[in-house]
Structure 1
Amino acid sequence: MTLTQLNGPVRTPWVDLLAATEHLDPPFAVLDVAAVRTNAHQLVRRAAGKPIRVASKSIRVRSVIRDALELPGMAGILAFTLPEALWLAEEHEDVVVGYPTTHRAALRRLAEDAELASRVTLMVDSADHLDLIAGIVGTASSSAPRIRICLELDVSLRLAGGRVHLGARRSPVRTPEEAAALARTVAAHPRFALVGLMGYEGQIAGVGDNQPGLRRFAVREVQRRSAAELAERRAAAVAAVRSVAPLEFVNGGGTGSLELTAAEPAVTEVAAGSGLFAPRLFDFYTRFRPQPAAYFVLSVVRRPSPHHATVLGGGWIASGAAGKDRLPTPVWPPDLSLVDQEGAGEVQTPLVGPRVDELGLGDHVWFRHTKAGELCEHVDEIVLVEGDRIIDVVPTYRGEGKTFL
């Protein structure tokens, strides 16, 4: 698969997708290559010149990550565990671990390998993290490589004097003063090199501002206030940290906030991955409209009544607060829906709808997952379709024997 060829907007070609895959036995996962390509170029346009660090958590397919990084405008990987980062760094030169690690064996391997240490950057948000890492890897010697460190800044929105917290609960480092103090601790340690600062504004990037109902107006107001507050505070934090040490990068954003985050002068790069697959989560934004690209397919195995068709499997639930918005959505044939009393089940999922009587045993039903990367934790391989043919079948992380988290 190549993403470097620029295509115009496309609509999901159901006739082609069905023709290409009708001989396959479910469950299987599909990537619409033309849609992935369109989405990749849309991400680059939205980043407006800021390089995009590819978020591997949202992809979990090495060949797709590799192809994305060949596209001008994308550079570096944002990994989700240190063992994964070490694995990817065998091929790629710039891998930032997006979350703190306490993995002792992986830390020792990083500290003992100068090449890996030059390619991998750890995430830290407290002096305790530094102490833990130093305790595992030992004191520095003249030949020991320095471990690259990125600080994470809390970029959530807090209202009512801090009593209301909107955003992910990640780093305890919130103010420029706190960021500078932690930067001084890193800079003073002979084992570490401070190279980056990161902040993920999940309350903007991960929450659609065009959801059905009146809630979208509240979301828009929250995001407007958050973006304004964050641009000022992040700039001050970056300046405070740069007064301690030069930074190679300042990372921010996600698929849902690329244009907003990229517009901040203090940010040098943005992160995105989900936007390639365009799961259901990203159907509800006013700022962009990606093409659905990732699907999973199940087969009808029961007709418990004239009004129900039941597929085998289906409980591919997205992470986050439990609710209907985390369930997969049947998208083909059209006009199907889950049954409220059962939802999506581990081994079977009943469906209803005005066209359910057209389904027979063995028929395929196509679903979209709510979030991106978790799809590939359910399958060993993913089928790449372009036009009406399968152009490749590639392994997921799981298919390569890797289950990092």
Structure 2
Amino acid sequence: MDQRRRYDHATRDLEPPFAILDVEALDANAAALVRRAAGKPIRVASKSVRSRAVLERVLAMDGFAGILAFTLPEALWLASCGFADIVVAYPTTDRRALAALAADADAAREITLMIDAEPHLDLIEAAIRDVRPRHEIRLCLDMDASFVAFAGLLRAGALRSPVREPEQAADLAAAVAKRPGMRLVGLMAYEGQIAGVGDRVPGAYGRVLRWMQRSSQRELAVRRGAVVRAVREYAELEFVNGGGTGSVEKTALEDAVTEIAAGSGLFHPRLFDFYRAFSGRPAAMFALPVVRRPAPGVVTVLGGGYLASGPPDASRLPQPYLPPGLRYHRHEGAGEVQTPLLGRAAHELREGDRVWFRHAKAGELCERFDVLHLVEGDRVVGEALTYRGEGHAFL
């Protein structure tokens, strides 16, 4: 039975739109990430999953440990559900959540906040000043991992932390050490220009991209090691986190890095099809029903405008996946309530048939659906509520 027929058969009793998670593909992708990490633990990026049940499944596997959350309210909720070792990957200015963290001994023990400047320390202190009793706040320093060359004329990577050099990191670590009730326990650096940009690109641009990534990897390995040594003069670091799905095997080679961050590789969305070093199995997708046939060679499905974050271009559109051979109308794209699709497969589709899509990114799909229906073989074997399905929208 081919993949489309298998999914159609498994979900024959469901009415689209709905989303599925192929658990065999998920497990295979998880095992591949662990092999690539070569013994270093993988901290699961929750923004790429956004389902408590799926997080539980993955964290029960050997090779995974801890969560990289995206907001403090999310981290507080996960801690209240029994999850441990949660690092909030981005700085927070949520004063109410900060006060709740400082007041909760269990949460304060399990949650680590991200900082990259002294004003973050000031904001945290102000938010928790009146909390009694007040528990120690664990902190992680985020350093800039971007690549800069040609006297600053070339810059590749995410605009994140202002802390780039060892001296800057040491100064911030020293500032934390002077603050009562705060402790620096970790360091993080995300090399998005390697981990989040596929290198399977043809032509001259692909050659330049691969040169940049090789150069960036060499430069960052030296600089990250120097930053870690500088920070250790002021703090006993419990972890040094780096990388992402696209750079697991590269980042794992660095002695200074103790753990790898990854999440997207579990679902293997469309944007992760373009890497030379690894391949994955599409695990998460959604089905939309054909509701119209407005012209020969054209079908219209219900909904579809589930665009991914990032640069506003065609790469952020969901991919019409099954049946193969469908494409968007260039003047309409993916629509809010309907999406026309063209191509050879449109000739065979009829009203009520399903078209299967892959989201461009991973966890953002879960903001559209309450449930991921778990498919194994040609059966639905259960369901996993998404954050949305549990009544949460953290961003």
Pair in the same fold by TM > 0.5: yes
1:30 aligned residue: 20
- Correspondent of 2:388 among 376, 398, 401: 398
**Is residue 2:157 matched to residue 1:133?**
no
- 1:271-350 superposed matches below 5 A: 271-350=261-340
Equivalents in 2 of 1:310, 1:140: separation in Å? 56
- Structure 2 partner of 1:234: 224
> C-alpha separation between the residues in 1 aligned to 2:18 and 2:364?
14
Q: Is the 8 A contact 1:12 1:292 kept in 2?
A: no
Q: Give the whole-Å Cα distance in 2 for the aligned partners of 1:213 and 1:356.
A: 32
Counterpart CA distance in 2 for 1:368 and 1:35 is: 14
Aligned partner of 1:362 in structure 2 is 352
Taking the aligned partners of 2:363 and 2:205, their CA distance within structure 1 comes to 26
Matches of 1:228 and 1:316, distance apart in 2: 37
Structure 2: 5+ residue stretches without partners: none
Instruction: Decide which of 48, 69, 79 is 1:58's aligned counterpart.
Output: 48
Q: Which residue of 1 aligns with 2:256?
A: 266
Structure 2 counterpart of 1:3: none
Is the aligned partner of 1:185 residue 2:175? Answer: yes
* Other-structure match for 1:100: 91
Task: State how far apart, in whole Å, the 1-side matches of 2:225 and 2:317 are.
Answer: 38
SS at match of 2:83: coil
**1:330-351 alpha-carbon deviations (Å, 9 max, x no partner):** 1111111111111111111110
What is the TM-score normalised by the length of structure 1? 0.95
CA positional deviation for 1:49 = 0.5
**Distance in 2 between the 1:184 and 1:392 partners?**
50
The residue that corresponds to 1:113 in the other structure is 104
Matched, 1:13 2:3: yes
Name 1:8's counterpart in structure 2.
Answer: none
Deviation at 1:211, TM superposition (A): 2.8
Residue equivalent to 1:176: 166
- Could you report, residue by residue, the CA deviation over 1:303-336 in whole angstroms, capped at 9, with x for unpaired residues? 1101210101111101001001111111111111
Report deviation, 1:221. 0.8
Of all paired residues, the percent bearing the same amino acid is 59
What's the CA shift string for 1:226-262, capped at 9, x where partnerless?
0000000000000000011110000000000000111
Paired amino acid for 1:130 = L
Tell me, yes or no, if structure 1 residue 385 matches structure 2 residue 375.
yes
Task: Decide whether aligned partners of structure 1 residues 374 and 127 sit closer, same or farther in structure 2, where only a CA change above 3 A counts.
Answer: same
Give me the whole-angstrom Cα distance separating, in 2, the residues matched to 1:290 and 1:345.
Answer: 28
Distance 1:82 1:196 in 2: 17
Corresponding residue SS for 1:355:
helix
Report if the CA contact (8 A) 2:90-2:114 is conserved: yes
Distance 1:200 1:267 in 2: 11
Letter in structure 1 aligned against 2:374:
L
Q: Residue by residue, what CA displacement relative to the aligned partner does 1:72-122 show, whole Å, maximum 9, x if unpaired?
A: 110000000000000111211200000000011110000111111000000
Tell me, in whole angstroms, the C-alpha distance in 2 between the residues paired with 1:321 and 1:77: 27
Distance 1:57 1:355 in 2: 34
Deviation at 1:139, TM superposition (A): 6.8
Q: Which amino acid in the other structure matches residue 188 of structure 1?
A: K
Question: Does the 8 Å CA contact 2:101/2:107 hold for their aligned counterparts?
Answer: yes
2:225 and 2:256 in contact (8 A); partners too: yes
CA distance in 1, matches of 2:134, 2:289: 55
Distance 1:340 1:140 in 2: 56
User: How far is 1:140 from its partner?
Assistant: 8.3
Q: Distance in 1 between matches of 2:241 and 2:270?
A: 25
Whole-angstrom distance in 1 between the partners of 2:180 and 2:226? 26
Task: State which drifts further: 204-213 or 131-140.
Answer: 131-140
Deviation by residue 1:339-394 (Cα, 9 ceiling, x = unmatched):
11111111111101012111111110000111001000000111100001001012
Tell me if 1:198 matches 2:204.
no
Q: How many pairs does the alignment contain? A: 394
**How many angstroms apart in 2 are the aligned matches of 1:180 and 1:281?**
36
Structure 2 counterpart of 1:145: 135
Partners of 2:253 and 2:342 in 1: CA distance: 45
Residue of structure 1 aligned with 2:206, choices 195, 198, 216 = 216
SS of equivalent residue, structure 1 residue 211: coil
Distance in 1 of aligned mates of 2:2 and 2:387: 26
Instruction: Report Cα offsets for 1:151-196 as digits up to 9, x if no partner.
Output: 0000000112123221000000000000000000011100201100
TM-score, normalised relative to structure 2: 0.98
Structure 1 unpaired stretches of 5+? 1-10
How far 1:213 moved relative to its partner?
4.5
1:350 alignment partner, SS class: strand
Q: Secondary structure at the match of 1:121?
A: strand
Aligned residues of 1:384 and 1:391 also touching (Cα < 8 A): yes
Map of 1:4 onto structure 2: none
- Pick closer, same or farther for the CA change 1:61–1:263 going to 2, 3 Å: same
Contact 1:139 1:191 in 2 (8 A): no
**Partners in 2 of 1:161 and 1:245 — Cα distance?**
32
